Every structure is written in structure tokens, then in C-alpha cells.
């Protein structure tokens, strides 16, 4: 239950921030009370990230003011934010794999405290809030959920008055989400204010008592999410009702389009799992979902299927023909497209325009060259088509890829691949960090391709997504893949347990095959 105070813990008054061609925040007002869990909602590009970066001192507002416990303040940098009592847990972890938990935590705190003393504080805080951690365990031996606990415990050791959390459950199993929520409710009961950003609207309704909604940089609603439905929250975010993706009768044709048998791959880096005897088959018209916690071989599997690493020819077959030895370009020529989970640097070149980024994968399929020369007019029209069909918020086809928000860049990359009419789609985390409206559009595009006879493999840590779109689900744990099972025969709790495997239980125990 929220406490009351003469002054709010945080007031943002008329915050305005402009970038070239974009008004990111337009006179935004936001009030967070002591002991309140406050949701900050908005579609991709609505201005949420800009606003919290201003709050944390990573950016400076062009206009407006910040009041902290009734006093006007200037937050010049993150240290100034921490000194006030503001802590932030980012969506992407900032941890060094080769270092221990206590060594990573020490990097984010003032120097001078002996590591043994700090380890004791870590254990006490972790135990108090039900976030168990071994301070002396190397980070590369931890699951994603355990790594997030490091970030939360490090923030709590600063004894903050306001904790900002950006998409904290995007990579957690259902069991880890419940444990996190228990900790947040305990912190809330103790008077800590929490500003919570998430695209998972059912979580917002279950956890938060107040929500501020941004659209195109402006506040459009302040409401109690507990009295709303996920659909009404989504409509408030995007300004219209969100049409759920069309549920289809299985379009499975019976013809196996992608078959994998006996696929082995060494781990790409410390902390990852080598692939061991991976096998599955996907028919035309079918969507196979592969669930798993990061670090269990997803990167290796995506690289092997997409053609970034070679395998024996017959371990991967497309329409009966061995393609394991073919590279990415050759596989594309045969009808297999690949959407990697890393958007910048892997799926796109940040400094290149959207038009030029279409050339990276659409050169052959979209006839973007003529007589040996690149046809930039055709490439630009293709980029414009992707932007229009997938409602990508951008200043135009000549905008640099890195200028887009993460969700809008994801929409562009998905559209760039799916509009090539592929036979097989391999996709990693298709809606990670994407708002509800964009996710529905992406899911509909996946359904449409399956209806046209394509075979799809979707690797995702979002179980809600997999249960919505997949015909069958398999679980990747410790580099081994369980037998795919129809969605009707599974439930999220069972899949979540399989995803968790034996992480964090026994260093010497082999990973259990899901």
C-alpha cells in the first residue's frame, strides 16, 4: 500500500527534449509518490527511454525541471542521481563474465570496501529479499535470472529511495518472474518507490498501482492499471484498439521444409553451452517455437541454422537438400531468411541508412541490382514499403539504423526479411522490447507466412509469445533440445521449469536435457 507524504518523491515538470528531426519528450509531467510502484508505458519511440535517461543523468533536458522530495535539483550525471537516492536496473546487463559476483558489484559502488565485507552485505541483502546469490561465483556460470539479481542487489546496496527498472522480466522464466515480483512487493511495502517500464501489460496490471502513458513524447493518460484490461492499456498506448493476430487453423502441409539431425557445435564463448545432437523437423505451414534461457545454446543454434557457421551438409536440410555447408548468402538464395536477435551490428549496420541496410539481405530476392550495379531507387522503394507495412517510426528511408528506437529497428529488420517471401524463416527474439501493437503486427506477419506454406523456427525467451504463435514448442537447455510437443499438451509453468534446468544448483552437475 502506498504511503503519503507532504511532497512527492519525484516530480518531472514540463520535461522537453529534442533531437534532430524528433521531439522525444514534449512537456512531460510525471509524479512518483513514496512507496509507489508506478508504471511508465508507451509504444516504441514514445519517449520512455529518453525520459529515464534524463532522470538518471545520462541526458539533459532542453526545458523543464526535476523536483526531488520537493526540492528542485539538477541531475548532471549518474553519480549525481545515485547520490540523491536514484538507482537504475537497465534492460541490458553491464557485467563482466570472467569476474565474480562480488567483483562485479564492487565496480558499481564507491571504492575502499574490502571484498569480504561486501560479500557479506550481498548475502544479507540477497537473503532479505529472496534473491539468492553466491558472491564468489563467476558470472559466466550464472543463469540470466541470477545475473539480473546481481544488478538488483547492486542497486539495493546503494540504499536508494527510487528504483527504476527497464523491461526487467524480458528474459526471465515464469518462476523467476514470480520471485522478482515478491521482492519488489517487499521493497514497496518498506517504502521504496519503483518506476517500472515494461511492454508486458498483464504484469503491469498485477504489479503497479499507477501508470503514466506516453504517446509521441506526450503524456496522454494517467490511470490505475489494476482497473484496466491489457487491451485497454494497449489501446491507450497506441491510440487505437490493437487487433490481435488472426489465429489460424494449422496450415501444416505435411511436407518437411527444414530438417536438422545430429547437429553439434562448440560453445562460441565462455558461459555458453555447446550444441549436442540437436534434431527437429518443421513442415510447411508450421511454426516451431524453441524456448530457453540465454546461454543454453541459442546463439550457436541460430548461427548454425542461419549459415553464419558451417556444419556437415546433411545435418541441415532445406526441402530435402543438404545446406549445412552453405553460407548465409547461399541459403538465402535457396529461400531461407534469418533474423538474428542482436539488432545493431548483427542484423543491421548502425551508421548506414535503412535503404542501405536493405541491401544487406534483400539484394537478390528484391532485385536491388541491375546489370551488376546497385539500384538505389529500387532499394529505397523497398525500404519505404517495409516502413509503411510495419509502421516503423522513422524520419524516412535515409535515416540511420541507429537513430531508430530498439523496437522500431526490430520492426524494420523483421519486415525486411519477411517481405522476401521465404520458404523458411529462422528468427531470434522477434518481439523483444517491442510494444503491444508492433508485436501484434509482427505475429500476424509470421502467421501470414505460415499460411502461405513457409516453415518458421522462432527462438524466444518469451513464453507468452511462444504459446501465442507456435504450433509446437521444444526447450533448449544445456545445449540439448527436448522433443517438440504440441502447445495444447504444455503449460508455461512446465516449460519454465525445463528452461531453468539445473542453473545455480550444482556446479559439477551436467545440464539436464529438457
Above 80 in pLDDT, residue 345?
no
Domain for residue 354, yes or no? yes
Q: Which residue has the cell 540437436?
A: 278
Average pLDDT, the chain: 86
Edge to edge, what strands does the sheet with 71-73 contain?
A: 22-32, 10-19, 63-68, 71-73
The 10s digit of each residue's pLDDT in 353-366 is 999 988 877 555 44
3-state secondary structure 185-214: HHHHHCCCEEEEECCCHHHHHHHCCEEEEE
Q: What is the pLDDT of residue 25?
A: 96
Does residue 443 share a domain with residue 314? yes
Pairing relationship of beta strands 210-215 and 37-42 according to DSSP bridges: parallel
3-state secondary structure 468-497: HHCCEEEEEECCEECCCEEHHHCCHHHHHH
Does residue 183 share a domain with residue 120? yes
Which of 217, 238, 259 is where one domain is finished? Answer: 238
The 10s digit of each residue's pLDDT in 167-182 is 888 767 777 788 889 9
* Statement: the pTM of the whole predicted model exceeds 0.75: no
Above 50 in pLDDT, residue 161?
yes
* CA nearest neighbour of 153 among 188, 178, 185, 118: 118
Report the range of poorest mean pLDDT among 49-53, 307-311, 402-406. 402-406
Q: How confident is the model at residue 406 (pLDDT cuts 50, 70, 90)?
A: confident
Above 70 in pLDDT, residue 513?
no
Given a contact cutoff of 8 angstroms between Cβ atoms, the answer to whether 355 and 376 are in contact is: yes
Domain for residue 196, yes or no? yes
Mean pLDDT score, 402-426? 88
The whole-angstrom separation of Cα 159 and Cα 86 is 9
Query: Looking at residue 284, which CATH number applies to its domain?
Result: 3.40.50.300
Does residue 198 share a domain with residue 54? yes
Does residue 142 share a domain with residue 59? yes
Domain residue limits at 495: 245-335+422-514
Does residue 249 share a domain with residue 114? no
Q: What percentage of the chain carries pLDDT values higher than 90?
A: 52
* CA nearest neighbour of 245 among 405, 451, 463, 394: 451
> What residues contact residue 485 under an 8 Å CB cut-off, 6+ apart?
472, 473, 474
Domain for residue 84, yes or no? yes
Q: From residue 418, give the alpha-carbon distance in Å to each of 261, 323, 385.
A: 26, 21, 12
Does residue 90 share a domain with residue 137? yes
Distance of CA 10 to the CA centre of its chain: 27
Q: Which long-range contacts (CB under 8 A, 24 or more apart) does 497-502 make?
A: 497/173, 497/175, 498/291, 499/173, 499/291, 499/292, 499/293, 499/296, 499/461, 499/475, 500/143, 500/145, 500/173, 500/175, 500/176, 500/293, 501/293, 501/296, 501/477, 502/478
Does residue 299 share a domain with residue 272? yes
Q: What is the pLDDT of residue 277?
A: 94
The 10s digit of each residue's pLDDT in 266-302 is 877 666 788 999 999 999 999 999 998 777 888 899 9
Q: What are phi and psi of 339, to 5 degrees?
A: -115, 105
Take residue 46 and report the three cell numbers written for it. 514514445
Q: What is the pLDDT of residue 2?
A: 45
Give start and end residues of each alpha helix (H) in 353-435.
354-362, 376-389, 406-418
The whole-angstrom separation of Cα 212 and Cα 221 is 6
The 10s digit of each residue's pLDDT in 384-400 is 999 998 888 888 899 99
Mean pLDDT score, 413-428? 91
Which of 183, 210, 238 is where one domain is finished? Answer: 238
The 10s digit of each residue's pLDDT in 310-343 is 999 999 999 999 999 999 989 998 999 999 887 7
Does residue 428 share a domain with residue 410? no
* CA angle, residues 8, 12, 18, in degrees to nearest 5: 175
Does residue 431 share a domain with residue 407? no
Domain for residue 127, yes or no? yes
Mean pLDDT score, 21-31? 93
> What residues contact residue 16 under an 8 Å CB cut-off, 6+ apart?
23, 25, 26, 27, 28, 61, 62, 63, 64
Domain for residue 342, yes or no? no
The 10s digit of each residue's pLDDT in 464-510 is 889 999 999 999 988 999 999 999 899 888 888 888 764 333 333 33
Give start and end residues of each alpha helix (H) in 140-253.
144-156, 174-189, 201-207, 230-238
Q: What is the pLDDT of residue 363?
A: 56
Q: What percentage of the chain carries pLDDT values higher than 70?
A: 91
Q: What is the pLDDT of residue 18?
A: 94
Does residue 449 share a domain with residue 411? no
Edge to edge, what strands does the sheet with 86-89 contain?
A: 86-89, 162-166, 193-197, 37-42, 210-215, 218-223
The whole-angstrom separation of Cα 470 and Cα 454 is 13
Instruction: Say how many domains are in the chain.
Output: 3
Residue 23, SS3?
A: strand
Does residue 365 share a domain with residue 267? no
DSSP per residue, 60-100: --SEEEEEETTEEE---SHHHHHHHTEEEE-SS----TTSB
Q: What is the pLDDT of residue 506?
A: 38
Does residue 100 share a domain with residue 174? yes
Which of 222, 238, 254 is where one domain is finished? Answer: 238
Domain for residue 234, yes or no? yes
Q: What is the pLDDT of residue 464?
A: 85
The 10s digit of each residue's pLDDT in 207-236 is 999 999 999 899 999 999 999 998 899 889
3-state secondary structure 349-368: CCCCEHHHHHHHHHCCCCCC
Domain for residue 5, yes or no? no
The whole-angstrom separation of Cα 354 and Cα 357 is 5
Domain for residue 262, yes or no? yes
Q: Which residue has the cell 542484423?
A: 347
Above 50 in pLDDT, residue 1?
no
Given a contact cutoff of 8 angstroms between Cβ atoms, the answer to whether 15 and 39 are in contact is: no
Q: What is the pLDDT of residue 508?
A: 35
Q: What is the pLDDT of residue 369?
A: 53
Mean pLDDT score, 136-149? 83
SS3 content of the chain, % helix, strand, coil (to 5): 35, 25, 40
Given a contact cutoff of 8 angstroms between Cβ atoms, the answer to whether 357 and 416 are in contact is: yes
Residue 474 or 249, more confident: 474
Q: What is the pLDDT of residue 178?
A: 86
The whole-angstrom separation of Cα 423 and Cα 146 is 38
In sign, the C-alpha dihedral spanning 159, 163, 166, 171 is positive
Above 70 in pLDDT, residue 425?
yes
The 10s digit of each residue's pLDDT in 71-130 is 999 999 999 999 999 999 887 778 888 899 999 999 988 888 999 999 999 999 988 888
What's the maximum distance between 2 C-alpha atoms anywhere in the chain? 73
Amino acid at each position: 500500500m502506498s504511503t503519503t507524504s507532504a511532497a512527492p518523491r519525484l516530480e518531472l515538470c514540463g520535461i522537453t527534449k529534442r533531437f534532430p528531426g524528433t521531439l522525444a519528450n514534449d512537456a512531460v509531467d510525471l509524479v512518483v509518490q513514496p512507496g509507489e510502484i508506478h508504471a511508465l508505458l508507451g509504444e516504441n519511440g514514445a519517449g520512455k527511454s529518453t525520459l529515464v535517461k534524463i532522470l538518471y543523468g545520462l541526458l539533459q533536458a532542453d526545458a523543464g525541471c526535476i523536483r526531488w522530495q520537493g526540492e528542485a535539483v539538477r541531475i548532471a550525471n549518474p553519480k549525481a542521481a545515485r547520490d540523491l537516492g536514484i538507482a537504475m536496473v537497465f534492460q541490458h546487463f553491464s557485467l563482466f563474465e570472467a569476474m565474480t559476483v562480488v567483483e562485479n558489484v564492487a565496480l558499481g559502488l564507491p571504492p575502499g570496501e574490502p571484498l569480504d565485507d561486501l560479500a557479506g552485505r550481498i548475502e544479507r541483502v540477497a537473503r532479505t529479499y529472496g534473491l539468492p546469490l553466491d558472491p564468489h561465483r563467476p558470472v559466466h556460470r550464472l543463469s540470466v535470472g541470477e545475473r539480473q539479481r546481481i544488478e538488483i542487489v547492486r542497486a539495493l546496496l546503494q540504499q536508494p529511495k527510487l528504483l527504476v527498472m527497464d523491461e526487467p522480466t524480458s528474459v526471465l522464466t515464469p518462476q523467476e518472474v514470480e520471485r522478482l515480483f515478491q521482492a519488489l512487493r517487499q521493497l514497496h511495502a518498506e517504502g521504496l518507490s519503483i518506476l517500472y517500464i515494461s511492454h508486458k501489460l498483464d504484469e503491469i496490471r498485477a504489479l503497479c498501482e499507477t501508470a503514466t502513458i506516453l504517446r509521441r513524447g506526450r503524456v496522454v493518460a494517467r490511470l490505475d492499471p489494476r482497473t484496466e484490461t491489457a487491451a485497454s492499456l494497449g489501446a491507450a498506448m497506441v491510440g487505437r484498439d490493437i487487433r490481435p493476430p488472426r489465429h489460424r487453423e494449422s496450415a501444416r502441409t505435411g511436407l518437411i521444409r527444414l530438417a536438422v539431425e545430429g547437429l553439434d557445435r562448440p560453445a562460441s564463448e565462455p558461459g555458453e553451452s555447446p550444441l549436442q545432437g540437436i534434431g527437429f523437423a518443421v513442415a510447411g505451414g508450421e511454426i516451431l517455437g524453441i524456448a530457453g534461457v540465454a546461454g543454453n545454446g541459442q546463439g550457436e543454434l541460430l548461427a548454425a541454422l542461419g549459415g553464419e557457421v558451417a556444419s556437415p551438409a546433411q545435418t541441415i536440410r532445406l526441402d530435402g537438400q543438404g545446406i549445412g555447408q552453405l553460407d548465409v548468402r547461399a541459403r538465402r538464395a535457396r529461400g531461407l531468411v534469418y533474423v538474428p536477435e542482436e539488432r545493431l551490428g548483427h542484423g543491421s549496420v548502425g551508421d548506414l541508412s535503412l535503404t542501405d541496410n536493405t541491401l544487406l539481405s534483400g539484394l537478390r530476392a528484391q532485385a536491388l541490382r541491375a546489370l551488376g550495379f546497385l539500384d538505389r531507387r529500387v532499394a529505397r522503394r523497398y525500404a519505404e514499403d517495409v516502413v509503411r507495412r510495419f509502421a516503423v517510426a522513422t524520419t524516412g528511408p535515409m535515416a540511420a539504423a541507429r537513430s531508430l528506437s530498439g523496437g522500431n529497428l526490430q520492426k524494420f529488420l523483421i519486415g525486411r526479411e519477411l517481405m522476401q517471401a521465404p520458404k523458411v524463416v529462422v528468427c531470434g527474439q522477434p518481439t523483444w522490447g517491442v510494444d503491444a501493437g508492433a508485436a501484434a503486427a509482427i505475429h500476424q506477419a509470421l502467421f501470414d507466412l505460415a499460411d502461405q506454406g513457409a516453415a518458421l523456427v522462432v527462438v524466444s525467451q518469451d513464453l507468452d509469445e511462444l504459446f501465442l504463435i507456435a504450433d509446437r514448442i521444444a526447450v533448449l537447455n544445456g545445449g540439448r533440445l527436448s522433443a517438440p510437443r504440441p502447445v495444447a499438451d504444455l503449460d508455461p509453468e512446465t516449460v519454465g521449469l525445463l528452461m531453468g534446468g539445473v542453473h545455480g544448483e550444482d556446479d559439477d552437475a551436467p545440464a539436464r536435457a529438457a
